[in-house]
Amino acid sequence: MTLITDFVARVEAFAAANGQSLSTVSRKILNDGKGIARLKEGGQCTLKTLEEALVKLDALEMELSGESKLRMTHLDRLEAESIHIMREVAAQCENPVMLYSVGKDSSVMLHLAEKAFYPSKPPFPLMHVDTMWKFKEMIEFRDRRAKEVGMDLIVHINPEGKADKVGPFTHGSAVHTDIMKTQGLKQALDKYKFDAAFGGARRDEEKSRAKERIFSFRSENHRWDAKNQRPELWNIYNTRVHKGESMRVFPISNWTELDIWQYIYKENIQIPSLYLSKKRPVVEKDGVLILVDDDRMPIGPDEKIEEKMVRFRTLGCYPLTGAVESEADTLPDVIQEMLLTTSSERQGRVIDSDAGASMEQKKEEGYF
Amino acid sequence: MAHLDDLISTDILGYLSAQENKSFLRFITCGSVDDGKSTLIGRLLYDSKLIYEDQLASIERDSKKSGTQGDKIDLALLVDGLAAEREQGITIDVAYRFFSTDKRKFIVADTPGHVQYTRNMATGASTADVAVLLIDARYGVQEQTRRHAYIVSLLGVKHVVVAINKMDLNGFDQAVFNDIEVDFRNFAKDLGFEEIMCIPMSALDGDNVTTSSENTKWFKGPSLLEYLESVDVDSATLDSPFRLPVQWVNRPNLDFRGFSGTIASGTVEVGDEIIVTPSGKRSTVKEIVTFNGNRDIAREDMAVTLTLNDEIDISRGDIICKIDAPAEQADQFQAHVLWMSEKELYPGRQYLLKTTNKTVPASVSNLKHRVDINDFSEVAAKTLGLNEIGVTTLSLSAPIGFDAYKDNRATGNFILIDRQSNETVGVGMLDYALRRASNVHWQDLDVGKTARSEQKNQKPALLWFTGLSGSGKSTIANLVDKRLLDLGRHSYTLDGDNVRHGLNRDLGFTKEDRVENIRRIGEVARLMVDAGLITMASFISPYRAERQMARDLLEEGEFIEIFVDTPLEVAEKRDVKGLYARARAGEIKNFTGIDSEYQAPENPQIRINTVDMSADEAAEIIVKYLEDNGFLAGYDS
């Protein structure tokens, strides 16, 4: 008798602490919504039933305690989904590569790859399409991280663009981005015949990305056909391509900017210090603060180099990436500023601020 | 992003640790065109203060240009992404949206309402825990509503919110709401939903979206967001049997052999006894390995790596289970299939079936019926077209471990892939294994193919002659047959004359019948090859997919495709049986080359040009090929 009374008391305490009705808990424990009520009114059950119920109650109590090993937060779930996607590529694609852009999203992606295959190293190389105008620190950071993780690093620079000395100051941002980034990427993918390339794009970044699949099919010409995408159900991914065709795979599609920052903070992931504020030499051009990263930067007669506390919200080619003035020199401060700020992340990038459909067009043409 | 939380400015570390404990919910919104789905999602984002100022400025600008709401902000513009649909004013694909509150992070699949994009709705529903079905209060339950409710239930969504929208247009009339609720519950009662929550709403003005509305004092239920924040979808599944579909075998070095995958259901602890499906091998769990250190226990949805105490052979596609409740295994199923391609499903044609992690050739052996999703009735059908749902029997070339979809979404689902185009053409849910499958055990005969073919002093093969009618297939095949007999070999020829009149006399010349014709011939040929014979099949066999199907029935290298390449003009001029003349006269329908297509082989092993060579020369080439490739080797070479 006391066994049952003790049991009922524990169930009631659990229900109260958990804010659930007794019948809900009863259903979970006894598979019968009225079971506890019956026991409470003097009903009986076999010892076996009681033992099984106690096991379930233990599990429920553990879950409630908050320290349970079985709890999964939204970050845990995002992480698990990304790992699943990466393993699928490793198991199904013949020649995958991870596009590494050195930004915070790439840092998260690289960290997830380490987790996905541990204790093995990620079974694919990293590739960076260098435009020759990236921040110096990005290049140092890239080389160091690749070495630390122990992955092969492929660096591709569009040789024609290099020969023609293509740059944003001489050719304008659109031509520079197209030749050094878009064409450079296509060249590299063709050269190494990769059939799958991981990218760090997220669906919350931009409207047309919200509709792109996680496994995004590209024709032989690297084109994306928005209206003819493969259906993507459950976590089954169709990875099959013909020779010459390929997949762009976005393992962090379902992460938001806040998720990325929280995860970097929680997991202590290395990111370039450009994301944190410090005194840096900048010049104001067309209302945007541009870092003087090397002596290729033309300084006009009306322009002057100033030392300002600045940081960067995205990383790319330094002449095309505006700095923001900020005192945030630690990660929590950056996150705090991000949360309190009122303009969205990609606004700093020159490439997105054309008409609404521009990103979609660029993607159809092969931009990542 | 104005998260309205004082902690952000006062205690960012406290805020971060609070946010870490958020739970997670995926839901789908669906409804007919103009029911206001995009507006509703826009409203959720807007009211949760998750729109940046620059985004807001941009949609204010766009609202004036292309909006449908006069001077009000058109919130739908926030979510309608692609240029084409902006112009048409409708959503044409699944879009994923993200927002979070203090309690939960949400992923919303916004899915289109019009008929031809049903496949996208199924896509959104496949990962959703909750479905929000929109109904326009002015029109009530529509054909689309039934369709969507059915698809949502078919894909195993258990919680449904019926958002009865545009209530502002009838002055928030409770009677209208009640009528629609009764109507909906009535038709949905057999769909197996655990919970149906009806909410009166105006997405445009925000009534009952994030907070309860003053306009519906008669409504005692929660607002949509309150419901979504509190619905419990995670409870029962941890009690389900443990399943780890192995995704990737982790072998960094000879000392470590781990099995990586995402746990599909249940929990596992170090020391648990496990059994592997389909091999049936057993061991116990040694470690649960993760980058952050080994765990004692792991649960559903975690991506882990297991090591075992015994060296047993496990590969991708196997399912690790606990011994108390192992997964079933079978190669014949009843399944619901939702067709997603413009190219129709043909029973008998081979597709690739992919489950979470295993890919096997499979065919729909029988299409039992199509489901009419307006009244859920069963309709006889020979094929399934785009967006149609059917109940089928599936035949796989190898057994897989599985659970019924209703018991386990993760181990009961599959997609069908077209072998030629690699497109995902269909998706499905396994209902149960056919009794036939569990009873048929292949007899492990001592006398095998090798023994039988050695006895005949040859290696068996299937010579598949394909080409237009009148190209000379059977003539050449008969000559090859004679020569092989002369050489003391054992062969047999299957052709239209000896197959169409007997085995396949119930089949006509429609596309479906042609597929079935070739399937049967392929099966017969396989038995003959198994008997050790050099088998010849001489059939027009116009479709690549069917020839591929026959090839797949055999072992690597046994299928030899011979393209009897005679141009249509030549064959028509010969017209040995007078069939072309009759086809031209319209007396014969579906005649290959005239009004039915012939898909020439792309890489045949042998190509015979009958314009340049005689039938004897052709037969010589084929026999030479058999000699050169060791089919006639026998004892003395």
pLDDT tens column, A194-221: 999 999 999 887 766 777 889 999 988 8
CA of B28 to nearest chain A CA: how many angstroms apart?
13
Residue B398 pLDDT:
83
Same domain as B544, residue B491: yes
Structural domain for A120, as ranges: 74-256+361-365
Residue of B nearest to A120 (CA): B252
Q: What is the pLDDT of residue B287?
A: 96
Cα distance from A158 to chain B (closest Cα, Å)?
A: 31
Q: Do B341 and B208 belong to one domain?
A: no
Are A78 and A213 in a shared domain?
yes
Is the pLDDT at A284 greater than 50? The verdict is: yes
Residue A231 has pLDDT above 50, yes or no: yes
CATH number of the domain at B528, please.
3.40.50.300
What's chain A's average pLDDT? 86
Buried b (16+ CB within 10 A) or exposed e, B291-321: eeeebeebbbbbbbbbbbeeeeebebbbbbb
- CB pair distance less than 8 Å for B82 and A87: no
Establish if A24 belongs to a structural domain. yes
For residues B318 and B338, membership in a common domain is answered with no
B473-486 and B615-628 are packed helices; what angle lies between their axes, rounded to 10 degrees? Answer: 50
More confident residue, A306 or B398: A306
* Mean pLDDT of all residues in A32-41: 84
In a domain, A216, yes or no: yes
pLDDT digits (tens, 9 = 90+) for A108-148: 999 999 999 999 999 999 999 999 999 999 999 999 999 99
Answer positive or negative: Cα dihedral of B524, B529, B533, B537: positive
Alpha-carbon distance B556 to nearest alpha carbon in chain A (angstroms):
20
265-294 in A: which are within 8 Å (CB) of B? Answer: 265-266
Same domain, A58 and A78: no
Pick the closest to residue B571 from B461, B472, B475 (CA basis): B472
- Please state the ipTM of this predicted complex: 0.79
Beta bridge partners of B163: B134, B199
* Amino acid B12: pLDDT: 84
* Highest mean pLDDT, choosing among A97-111, B131-145, B353-367: A97-111
Report yes or no on B442 lying in a domain.
no
Residues 32-61 (A) with a CB less than 8 A from some CB of B: 56, 59
Is A236 in Cβ contact with B413 (below 8 Å)?
yes
CA distance A204 to chain B (A): 7
List all residues of chain A from 239 to 258 with a beta carbon under 8 Å from chain B. Answer: 240-242, 253-254, 256, 258
B383 and B527, same domain (yes or no)? no
Closest of B82, B37, B426 to residue A226, by C-alpha: B82
The per-residue pLDDT for B367 is 92
- Look at residue B415 and tell me if it is in a domain: yes
| Contact residues on chain B for A66, CB-CB shorter than 8 A | 21
Answer with the residue of higher pLDDT: B361 or A117: A117
Same domain, B151 and B200: yes
Instruction: Report whether B11 contacts A339 (CB < 8 A).
Output: no
What DSSP element (H or E) covers A367?
none
Domain co-membership, A236 together with A286:
no
* pLDDT band, very low/low/confident/very high, at B441 (cuts 50, 70, 90): very low
| Together in a domain, A141 and A248 | yes
Portion of chain A with pLDDT greater than 70, in percent: 89
**Cα–Cα dist B330/B398, whole Å:** 8
Characterize the bridge pairing of strands B559-565 and B491-495.
unpaired
Identify the pLDDT of residue B637. Answer: 36
Residue B464 touches partner A, C-beta closer than 8 Å: no
Identify the residue among B6, B58, B103, B248 best suited for mutation to test binding to A, counting A beta carbons within 10 A and taking the highest.
Answer: B248
In angstroms, the separation between the Cα of residue B23 and the nearest Cα of chain A is 5
Q: What is the dihedral of CA A155, A196, A234, A219, to 10 degrees?
A: 120
Query: Measuring CA to CA, which residue among B495, B526, B514, B325 is closest to residue B407?
Result: B325
Q: How far apart are CA A10 and CA B90, in angstroms?
A: 54
Among chain B residues, the shortest Cα distance to A240 is held by B422
What are A290-339's pLDDT values in tens digits?
999 998 988 888 899 999 999 998 899 999 999 999 999 999 999 888 88
Residue A295 lies in a domain: yes
Co-location of A82 and A227 in the same domain? yes
Nearest CA in chain B to A25: B235
**Residues on chain B touching A88 (C-beta within 8 angstroms):** 247, 357
Query: Which domain CATH number covers B316?
Result: 2.40.30.10
Whether the pLDDT of residue A274 is over 90: the answer is yes
The pLDDT of residue B67: 56
Active site residues of B: 541
Across A340-361, average pLDDT:
50
Choosing from B281, B303, B322, the residue where a domain stops is B322
Q: Is 90 exceeded by the pLDDT of residue B458?
A: no
Same domain for B288 and B344: no
pLDDT of A265 higher than 90? yes
- Pair B355, B308 in one domain: no
Is residue A264, in this structure, part of any structural domain at all?
A: no
A239 with A287, same domain? no
**Which of the four pLDDT bands, split at 50, 70 and 90, describes residue A161?**
very high
Instruction: Give one DSSP letter per residue of A278-310, joined into a string.
Output: EEEEEEEETTEEEE--STTS---TT---EEEEE
Q: What pLDDT digit, counting tens, does each position of B215-229 carry?
A: 999 999 999 999 999
pLDDT at A350 over 50: no
Q: Do residues A227 and A121 both lie within one domain?
A: yes
Residues A83, A53 within the same domain: no
CATH of the domain at A105: 3.40.50.620
Least CB–CB distance from B356: residue in A204, A210, A235: A235
Nearest to B500 by CA among B398, B577, B385: B577
**Can you give the pLDDT at residue A287?**
86
Q: Tell me the C-alpha distance between A226 and A213, whole Å.
A: 9
What is the distance between the alpha carbons of residues A201 and A106, in angstroms, rounded to a whole number?
A: 9
Chain-chain contact of B12 with A347 (C-beta, under 8 angstroms): no
Say what percent of chain A tops pLDDT 90. 57
Taking a contact as any Cβ pair under 8 Å apart, which residues of chain B between 503 and 522 contact chain A? none
Q: Name the residue facing A236 among B236, B305, B415 (closest C-beta).
A: B415
In a domain, B182, yes or no: yes
Task: With H, G, I as helix, E, B as strand and everything else as coil, classify residue A332.
Answer: helix
Q: Give the per-residue pLDDT at B65.
A: 66
> If you average pLDDT over residues A56-63, what whole number do you get?
76
Q: Is the pLDDT of residue B151 over 80?
A: yes
Q: Residue B584 pLDDT > 50, yes or no?
A: yes
What is the predicted pLDDT for the residue at B443? 38
The average pLDDT across A21-34 equals 80
Q: Is the pLDDT of residue A357 over 60?
A: no
Reported as a pLDDT band with limits 50, 70 and 90, residue A7 is: confident
Cβ under 8 Å to A: B residues 320-359: 340, 352, 354-357
Mean pLDDT of B253-270: 94
Number of domains chain A is built from? 3
Q: Which pLDDT belongs to residue B444?
A: 37
Closest CA to A293 of A173, A132, A73: A132
Domain termination residue (choose one: B407, B436, B465): B436
A-chain CB neighbours of B54 within 8 Å are 342-344, 347
C-alpha distance from B474 to closest chain A C-alpha (Å): 34
Is pLDDT at B83 greater than 50 in this prediction? no
Give per-residue pLDDT as tens, B157-185. 999 999 999 999 999 999 999 999 999 99
Q: Report whether pLDDT(B6) > 50.
A: yes
Asked whether residue A261 is assigned to any structural domain, the reply reads no
Please tell me the total count of domains within chain B: 4
CB contact under 8 A, A74 and B24: yes
- Give A 192-221 residues with CB within 8 A of chain B: 203-204, 207-208, 210-211
Q: What's the confidence (pLDDT) of residue B435?
A: 59
Q: Is residue B301 part of a domain?
A: yes
Which among B20, B58, B414 is the nearest to A266, CB-wise?
A: B20
- Measured between alpha carbons, how far is B267 from B265 in angstroms, rounded to an integer? 7
Kindly state whether A28 is in contact with chain B, defined as any CB-CB distance less than 8 angstroms: yes
Domain shared by B287 and B302, yes or no:
yes
Task: Give pLDDT, residue B91.
Answer: 45
Q: Which of B451, B511, B317 is nearest to B397 (CA)?
A: B317
Partner-chain contact A80 B303, CB within 8 Å? yes
pLDDT digits (tens, 9 = 90+) for B534-548: 999 999 988 898 899
Answer yes or no: do B464 and B536 share one domain: yes
Residues A185 and A311 in one domain: no
Residue B287 lies in domain: 237-322
Question: Which of residues B573 and B91 earns the better pLDDT score?
Answer: B573
Residue A233 belongs to a domain:
yes
Residue B59 lies in a domain: yes
Beta bridge partners of B248: B260
A122 inside domain? yes
pLDDT surpasses 80 at B360: yes
CB within 8 Å: A74 and B104: yes
- End of a domain among B211, B230, B249? B230
- CA–CA separation, A325 and A309 (whole Å): 6
Among B20, B29, B294, B336, the strongest candidate for a mutation testing the A interface, having the largest count of A CBs within 10 A, is: B20
Phi, psi (deg, nearest 5) at residue B24: -145, 135
Q: Kindly state whether residue B443 falls inside one of the protein's structural domains.
A: no
Quote the pLDDT of residue A207: 67
Q: Min CA distance, B110 vs chain A (Å)? A: 9
Residue A69 domain flag? no
**CA–CA dist A91, B260 (Å, integer):** 11
pLDDT, one tens digit per residue, over A162-189 is 999 999 999 988 999 999 999 999 999 9
Stretch (H or E) spanning B65? helix B53-66
CB contact under 8 A, B81 and A210: yes
Put simply, whether B229 touches A (Cβ < 8 Å) is: no
Are residues B69 and B12 part of one domain? Answer: yes
Do A125 and A152 reside in the same domain of the chain? yes
Q: What is the SS3 assignment for B565?
A: strand
- Residue B637 domain flag: no
What mean pLDDT is predicted for residues A97-117?
97
Q: Compare CB distances from B303 to A84, A254, A341 and report the shortest one's residue.
A: A84
Categorize the per-residue pLDDT at B1 as very low, low, confident or very high, splitting at 50, 70 and 90. Answer: very low
Distances from the Cα of B408 to the Cα of A7, A286, B172, B298, B327, angstroms:
31, 58, 41, 18, 10
CB B428 within 8 A of CB B409: no
For β-strands A246-249 and A288-291, DSSP reports them as unpaired
Instruction: Check whether residue B219 and residue B177 sit in a common domain.
Output: yes
B569 within some domain: yes
Residues A231 and A85 in one domain: yes
Instruction: Report residue B2's pLDDT band, with 50, 70 and 90 as the boundaries.
Output: very low
Closest Cβ–Cβ partner in B303, B305, B415 for A238: B415
Percent of chain B with pLDDT over 90: 47
pLDDT reading at A360 higher than 70: no
Q: Give the percent of chain B with pLDDT over 70.
A: 88
**What does the pLDDT read at residue B636?**
42
Could you say which DSSP state residue A275 is in? G
Residues B346 and B203 placed together within one structural domain of the fold: no
